[in-house]
C-alpha cells in the first residue's frame, strides 16, 4: 500500500474534468491512456502508458471530511466511534496491516507488517496487541548510510552470553503470571516484541531483505534515486522475503495551496515510482500474487480556492469523491470502476464505501472479511461492517 497522506486530488490524477468550468478543471490538460476512451491528468504520463495493467476506482466515498476520521475510515474500513478532530491520530479498530499480520503471519523471522518511514495515523493494531503493530523502518533507503536499526546482535554480546541471557529469561517466564485481558498486561506485549526481535536478528533471510544495495544499480536507478522510489524497491524486497503487508507512508498531499506546481514535481515523482513498481512486479511474475493499492483519506474539492493568507490556489478536503489505484492479485486490469458526476463533486455510479474496499483487500489476501475477532473485554467484532467487496476488482 502506498498511502498518500493528506488526501490526493482526483482531478489532478485519474479523474480529470476537461469540460468543467475553469475554476473546477484546473490548469492541467488530459492525456489519453493505453485503454481506449480513458483519460488521466497530464501528470500521469507513465501510468497512462501502462493503464492496461491496473484499475482505477473512482467511486469510493464516505462522510468523514477531516484527516483524523478520514484516515481511520480508509485504513480500517470502520468509521470512528466518536467525532474526532482533523489533527487526531486515533485507533478504534485494527488497521488493514495489523489484521493481515494477525491472520497471515510472516515467514523467515520477519515481522508480518512493515511501515516505511513511519506508521500512518490509524495504522496500528488496537486490541489485536503489540505484536501486530508495524515494524517501522525510519531511515531513507536512498542514503549511503542507510541501515535498519537494532536488527543485529551487538558485537559485544557473544553467542554463549546471549544463550545464557535467553535461559534466564525463559526461567523467569516459566513463573505463573496474572493475565487479565481487560487490562492488556503490558508485559505480555513486551514478551511478544522480544520474541519478534529475537526471530528478526537471528534470521539470515530477514537480514538479506534489508540489504537494498544487493539490487543492481540499474534497478535502483529505474525506481528513482529518491526516498519514495527506494522505499518502493525495499517494499518489493520485503514482499519477496515473505512479508504479507507493507505500507509506504508518503506525506504532503494536503494541497490547500500551491497544488499545480506541487503536482508538476511531487505528482510526477509518485506516478513514476508507482509505474515502475507495477512494471517490476509484472516482469518478475509477482504481480499475479501481489496487490498494489495507492490511495489517501479522501479527494479534493471541485472548486479551486485561494485561502486567506495564501498566494497560490489549492483544493480543500473532499470525501464525496476520490480515485484509488488497484493493481495485481487477480484484479482485472485496464478498467475504470464507477464514475463521478460531470464536475467531480460526488460518486454517482457503482458507489462503494471504505468497508467495501477493505473487504476487497482482505479477500485478495485470503482473509474472510466476515471474520469475527475479539477485543480486550472479549466482545466479538467483525473485521468490517460490510463484507461485500468491490465486485469489479475481484475478477
Does residue 160 belong to any structural domain of this protein?
A: no
Q: 38, 319 in Cβ contact below 8 A?
A: no
Q: Is 6 among the domain residues? A: yes
pLDDT at 183: 45
pLDDT of residue 203: 74
**Domain assignment present for 192:** no
d(CA 228, CA 226): 6
Domain range holding 354? Answer: 2-153+202-393
The residues, ordered by sequence, that sit 6+ positions from 183 with a Cβ below 8 Å of its Cβ are: none
> Is residue 49 included in any domain, yes or no?
yes
Comparison of pLDDT for 369 and 107, the residue scoring more: 369
Residue 291 falls inside a structural domain:
yes
pLDDT of residue 269: 98
| 57: helix, strand or coil | strand
Is the pLDDT at 229 greater than 90? The verdict is yes
Mean pLDDT value of segment 332-355: 98
Please tell me whether residue 341 adopts helix, strand or coil conformation. Answer: coil
Cell digits for 169? 529469561
Question: Per residue in 173-228, pLDDT tens?
Answer: 666 655 544 445 555 555 555 555 556 665 777 789 999 999 999 999 999 999 99
Which among 124, 141, 123 is positioned nearest to 1, based on CA atoms? Answer: 123
**pLDDT of 54 higher than 90:** yes
pTM of the predicted model, to two decimals? Answer: 0.90
| Lowest mean pLDDT segment, chosen from 183-197, 226-240, 372-386 | 183-197
DSSP 3-state assignment of 112? coil
Strands (E), 303-382: 317-318, 324-327, 335-337, 339-340, 347-349, 372-374, 380-382
Number of structural domains in the chain: 1
Contact 291, 360 (CB under 8 A): no
Asked if 278 and 50 touch (Cβ cutoff 8 Å), the reply is yes
Report the C-alpha gap between 249 and 382 in whole angstroms: 26
Q: Looking at the domain assignment, is residue 186 inside a domain? A: no
**Do the domain assignments include residue 232?**
yes
Give the pLDDT of residue 204: 78
Of the chain, the percentage scoring pLDDT greater than 70 comes to 87
Helix 354-364 and helix 67-76: axis angle, to 10°? Answer: 40
In the three-class reduction of DSSP (H, G, I as helix; E, B as strand; rest coil), residue 60 is classed as strand
What is the tens place of the pLDDT at every residue in 88-132?
A: 999 999 999 999 999 999 887 899 999 999 999 999 999 999 999
DSSP H or E run through 207: helix 204-210
Give me the pLDDT at residue 387, please: 96
Tell me the C-alpha distance between 43 and 266, whole Å. 10
The SS3 assignment for 293 reads strand
pLDDT(241) > 70: yes
CATH number at residue 236: 3.40.720
Residue 336 has pLDDT above 70, yes or no: yes
Question: What is the spatial distance between Cα 63 and Cα 73, in angstroms, rounded to a whole number?
Answer: 9
DSSP 116-181: ESS--TT-S-GGG-GGGSPEE--S-TTSTT---TT-S--TTS-HHHHHHHHHHHHHHHTS-----T
Neighbour-count burial of 31, counting CB atoms closer than 10 A to its CB (0-12 exposed, 13-18 middle, 19+ buried): middle
What does pLDDT average to over the chain? Answer: 91
Any idea what the Cα angle at residue 301 is, between residues 81 and 77, rounded to 5°?
30
Amino acid at each position: 500500500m502506498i498511502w498518500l497522506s493528506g488526501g490526493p486530488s482526483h482531478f489532478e490524477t485519474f479523474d480529470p474534468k476537461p469540460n468543467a468550468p475553469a475554476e473546477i478543471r484546473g490548469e492541467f490538460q488530459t492525456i489519453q491512456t493505453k485503454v481506449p476512451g480513458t483519460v488521466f491528468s497530464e501528470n500521469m504520463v507513465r501510468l497512462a502508458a501502462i493503464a492496461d495493467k491496473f484499475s482505477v476506482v473512482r467511486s469510493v466515498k464516505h462522510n468523514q471530511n477531516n484527516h483524523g476520521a478520514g484516515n481511520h475510515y480508509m485504513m480500517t474500513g470502520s468509521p470512528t466511534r466518536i467525532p474526532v478532530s482533523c489533527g487526531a491520530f486515533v485507533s478504534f479498530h485494527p488497521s488493514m496491516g495489523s489484521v493481515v499480520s494477525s491472520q497471515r503471519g510472516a515467514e523467515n523471522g520477519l515481522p508480518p507488517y512493515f511501515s516505511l518511514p513511519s506508521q500512518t495515523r490509524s495504522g496500528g493494531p488496537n486490541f489485536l496487541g503489540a505484536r501486530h503493530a508495524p515494524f517501522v523502518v525510519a531511515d531513507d533507503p536512498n542514503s549511503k548510510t542507510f541501515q535498519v536499526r537494532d536488527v543485529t546482535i551487538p558485537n559485544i554480546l557473544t553467542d554463549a552470553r546471549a544463550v545464557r541471557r535467553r535461559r534466564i529469561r525463559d526461567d523467569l517466564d516459566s513463573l505463573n503470571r496474572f493475565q487479565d485481558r481487560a487490562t492488556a498486561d503490558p508485559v505480555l506485549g513486551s514478551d511478544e516484541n522480544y520474541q519478534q526481535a529475537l526471530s528478526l536478528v537471528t534470521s539470515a533471510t530477514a537480514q538479506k531483505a534489508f540489504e537494498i544495495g544487493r539490487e543492481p544499480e540499474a534497478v535502483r536507478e529505474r525506481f528513482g534515486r529518491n526516498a519514495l522510489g527506494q522505499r518502493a524497491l525495499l517494499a518489493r524486497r520485503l514482499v519477496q522475503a515473505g512479508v504479507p503487508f507493507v505500507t509506504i507512508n508518503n506525506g504532503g498531499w494536503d494541497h490547500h495551496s500551491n497544488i499545480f506546481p506541487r503536482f508538476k514535481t511531487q505528482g510526477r515523482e509518485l506516478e513514476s515510482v508507482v509505474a515502475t513498481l507495477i512494471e517490476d512486479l509484472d516482469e518478475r511474475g509477482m504481480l499475479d500474487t501481489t496487490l498494489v493499492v495507492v490511495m489517501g483519506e479522501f479527494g479534493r474539492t471541485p472548486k479551486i480556492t485561494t485561502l486567506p493568507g495564501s498566494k497560490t490556489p489549492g483544493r480543500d478536503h473532499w470525501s464525496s469523491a476520490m480515485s484509488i489505484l488497484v493493481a495485481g492479485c487477480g484484479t482485472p486490469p485496464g478498467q475504470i470502476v464507477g464514475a463521478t458526476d460531470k464536475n467531480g463533486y460526488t460518486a454517482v455510479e457503482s458507489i462503494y464505501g471504505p468497508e467495501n474496499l477493505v473487504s476487497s483487500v482482505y479477500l485478495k489476501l485470503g482473509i474472510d472479511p466476515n471474520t469475527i475477532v475479539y477485543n480486550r473485554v472479549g466482545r466479538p467484532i467483525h473485521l468490517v461492517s460490510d463484507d461485500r467487496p468491490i465486485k469489479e476488482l475481484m475478477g
